Amino acid sequence: MKKLFSLMMLFTLVTAVSGQALKRTADPKERGYQESDFPRVQKVAPNVYTYEAVVGSPNERYTTNSMFVVTKDGVLVADGQGSPEALRLMFAAIAKITPLPVKMMVMCSDHGDHTNGNTALPTGVELIAHPNSRANLERQANAPNRPATAPKIVMPGSSLAQDKRVIKMGGTEIQIQFLGRAHTGGDLVVYLPKEKVLFTSEIFLNHLFPAMRSAYPAEWMQVFRKLQKIDARMIIPGHGFVDDPKTLKEELQAYIRSTEAVIAEATRLHNAGIPVDEAVKQAKWGEFTSWSGSASQGPIAIRRVYDELDGKLR
């Protein structure tokens, strides 16, 4: 039995490495990784890298992802990490790739697991966030036990109506886009038109159950439609592994399906007149039950969709 188990482990490892029958999961152990394989840096284009750090509770492990773009004139980072130590570790990894300084960081998600490290940002790093995220952070700053997150925040456009800001850093074109409210309300994506790389942050999670604590579910579905129109070769998720481009495209479709299914299930219960406390017990997630976070995120999603249907989201 023990021998069979170790053979199975070996098989998992070999298939993971060869890329055949890649185990679709966000969990490092299920994928056959060691925790020591992270943080992991991957080169996804000649000047573009992803950074994955493993986070979560002991029995729910997954990666938090950032992207960094190395230009002739410095570095742009998309999304931070969840603690000052984690941010310093990422900056140390960037320094191994280039001696050039980080000039800009885009706050694509304002949630703490992507922003709590920002207190360790070196001075001179320009932090870009959507006005909705700035408002979210200001609210959080007043809450007890919340570190002050943002030293300086610049809006993506010169006005609220402007949803795209194009940056030319060292000859590299970098587009920061707001496609609408999705996971946080201030969701930004970073798109490199020449390299065709798209960092989606938490609009897309690779094989994690839809997280809706502060989401706008119906608007999120509209955001997916806009996201799919962007000409991208490589689509990078905010959590879950940075897999090969083909796998990630498939997983984006699966994530859209899962979000749609979660909204449909909550709407079904709502329309049947089931009270929300009862609905969280009755909800059925089908194929998405096995996804990381379904037990903790399922009830949160139900409550959020109920709020939206009841007109409580502004």
111 vs 134 by CB, closer to Zn ion: 111
The least distance separating Zn ion from the CB of residue 82, rounded to whole angstroms, comes to 8
90 vs 167 by CB, closer to Zn ion: 90
- Residue 149 φ/ψ region, left for φ over 0, alpha for ψ in the -120 to 50 degree band, beta for the rest: alpha
Burial 30-67 (b: 16+ CB within 10 A, else e): ebbbeeeebbbbeebeebbbbbbbbbbeeeebbbbbbb
Alpha-helix runs per DSSP H in the chain: 2-18, 28-31, 84-97, 112-115, 131-142, 217-229, 245-271, 276-282, 294-309
Q: CA-to-CA distance for 248 and 241, rounded, in angstroms?
A: 9
Rg (CA), the chain: 20
The least distance separating Zn ion from the CB of residue 201, rounded to whole angstroms, comes to 8
Answer for the pair 179, 191: CB distance below 8 angstroms, yes or no: no
Pairing of strands 102-106, 126-128: parallel
Answer for the pair 178, 172: CB distance below 8 angstroms, yes or no: no
61 vs 111 by CB, closer to Zn ion: 111
113 vs 265 by CB, closer to Zn ion: 113
Cα 158 from chain centroid (whole Å): 25
Q: CA-to-CA distance for 98 and 90, rounded, in angstroms?
A: 13
Of 68-107, which residues contact Zn ion (CB under 5 A)?
none
The least distance separating Zn ion from the CB of residue 155, rounded to whole angstroms, comes to 22
The least distance separating Zn ion from the CB of residue 137, rounded to whole angstroms, comes to 14
66 vs 172 by CB, closer to Zn ion: 66
Residue nearest to Zn ion (CB): 113
Of 106-145, which residues contact Zn ion (CB under 5 A)?
111, 113
The least distance separating Zn ion from the CB of residue 184, rounded to whole angstroms, comes to 9
Question: Per rule CB under 5 A, is residue 187 in the interface with Zn ion?
Answer: no
Q: How many CA atoms within 13 Å lie on the side-chain side of 157? A: 12
The least distance separating Zn ion from the CB of residue 247, rounded to whole angstroms, comes to 20
111 vs 181 by CB, closer to Zn ion: 111
27 vs 113 by CB, closer to Zn ion: 113
Contacts with Zn ion by CB under 5 A: the residue count is 2
The least distance separating Zn ion from the CB of residue 241, rounded to whole angstroms, comes to 15
Name the CA dihedral angle for 176, 140, 60, 244, rounded to a multiple of 10 degrees. Answer: 0
Interacting residues with Zn ion (CB under 5 A): 111, 113
